[in-house]
Amino acid sequence: MTTTASQAVPRSSSSRNVLSVRDLKVHFTTADGVVKAVDGLDFDIASGKTLGIVGESGSGKSVSSAAVLGLHNRKYAKVSGSIELNGVDLLTLSDVEMRKRRGREVAMIFQDPLSAMHPYYTVGNQIMEAYRVHNDVSKKAARQRTIEMLDRVGIPQPDRRVDDYPHQFSGGMRQRAMIAMGLINDPGLLIADEPTTALDVTVQAQILDLLQDLQREFDSAVIIITHDLGVVAEMADDVLVMYAGRGVEYGPCREILTHPEMPYTWGLLSSVPDVKGDTSARLIPIPGNPPSLLSPPPGCAFHPRCTHRDKVPGDLCRTELPLLVEGNRGPGHTKRCHLANPEQIYETEILPEIAPELAKER
């Protein structure tokens, strides 16, 4: 059985949504076969809100966001479904129309600003260009606006540093400059793909704080892509957990972190240090590795690694792709799993292992 868009829609599409993605698929044709990097993804995001997309490496997070930015080469990537940005389906646009929107309506900041910035041009020139592509202003005005943005993101002496080359900035400063470049056109949607992964912990926290401040100021929607549930817990209003190119659990952050219903989400929660500092909490890594998306396992793609599959009657986990359905606690929370009583398993088996103090309080 396969999931269709109508079965999988997690929430009603509202006019307040900056972005509504429905049944998104991104399939790459390669010499070895078709890589189903994204295979039926649904999510929404409203202005001023943050969606955290979380999953292990190779789950299709970056490929999905590149689709929202229209960055896939149509020759090699088959992109289907719909990606409505401000009510317009981006998949119906030409490359030229998409280029007009990229940077102005949706911008992206990458994990590694050094490779995202051109080494031969100054930081300032690159930000100015990003601004002038969408605004008919003089070089002087663009430079002034760039200096203001560099100042806003916390670059010291911005009127001097604007003429530095990327390698003259520290990692944290480069990420600040990328944020300045991303926000200079005040886009309604900012996608941050692992924006702090390459940074040390202190700088990480500063960058996340900065992103939160700027989001409030610019009232933009933010998608933060991460493999780190700690980042999600701090930043996100909603969470989408991805596995093998699909959304496997989706809903409000608090709900997903406190009442997760899908064993992969349990695995992610079990493999991060307890946030409350409970020293009796155990770190339990998820066994095995994520599958190749060239030939993912049949049924539930997580089944080879799932320690709960025997609780599902028959061979269902190995043979039937679970539909994305409403969680047992009500609307707004969806999950893809055959287990009939996930809350009970979570409360009695998972929570006592990963957060014993919390389990006792409940």
Q: Summarize as ranges the residues that interact with ligand ADP (CB under 6 A).
A: 28, 30, 35, 37, 55, 57-63, 293
Chosen from Mg ion, ligand ADP, ligand SF4, none, partner binding at 308 (C-beta under 5 to 8 Å by type)? ligand SF4
User: Which residue's CB is nearer to ligand SF4, number 33 or number 287?
Assistant: 287
- 286 secondary structure, DSSP code: P
Task: Give min distance, CB of 283 to ligand SF4, in A.
Answer: 20
In sequence order, what are the beta bridge partners of 246? Answer: 243
Residue numbers at the binding site for Mg ion (CB under 5 A): 62
Chosen from Mg ion, ligand SF4, ligand ADP, none, partner binding at 63 (C-beta under 5 to 8 Å by type)? ligand ADP
User: Which residue's CB is nearer to ligand ADP, number 214 or number 256?
Assistant: 256
Cα separation, 215 vs 47, in Å, equals: 10
Cα separation, 287 vs 289, in Å, equals: 7
Contact flag: residue 260 with ligand SF4 (CB under 6 A): no
User: Which residue's CB is nearer to ligand ADP, number 57 or number 341?
Assistant: 57
Contact flag: residue 300 with ligand SF4 (CB under 6 A): yes
Task: Give min distance, CB of 313 to ligand ADP, in A.
Answer: 32
Q: Please give the structure tokens belonging to residue 208.
A: 């996340």
CB count within 10 Å of CB 66 equals 19
Does residue 157 sit in helix, strand or coil? coil
The residue among 82, 84, 77, 92 whose CA lies nearest residue 37 is 77
Contact flag: residue 308 with ligand SF4 (CB under 6 A): yes
User: Which residue's CB is nearer to Mg ion, number 54 or number 162?
Assistant: 54
Does residue 336 sit in helix, strand or coil? coil
Chain centroid to CA 243: 12
- Residues 188, 194, 196, 201, Cα dihedral to 10°: 140
Task: Give min distance, CB of 59 to ligand ADP, in A.
Answer: 4
Residues lying near ligand SF4 in the complex (CB under 6 A) are found at 262-264, 300, 302-303, 306, 308-309, 312, 317, 322, 337-339
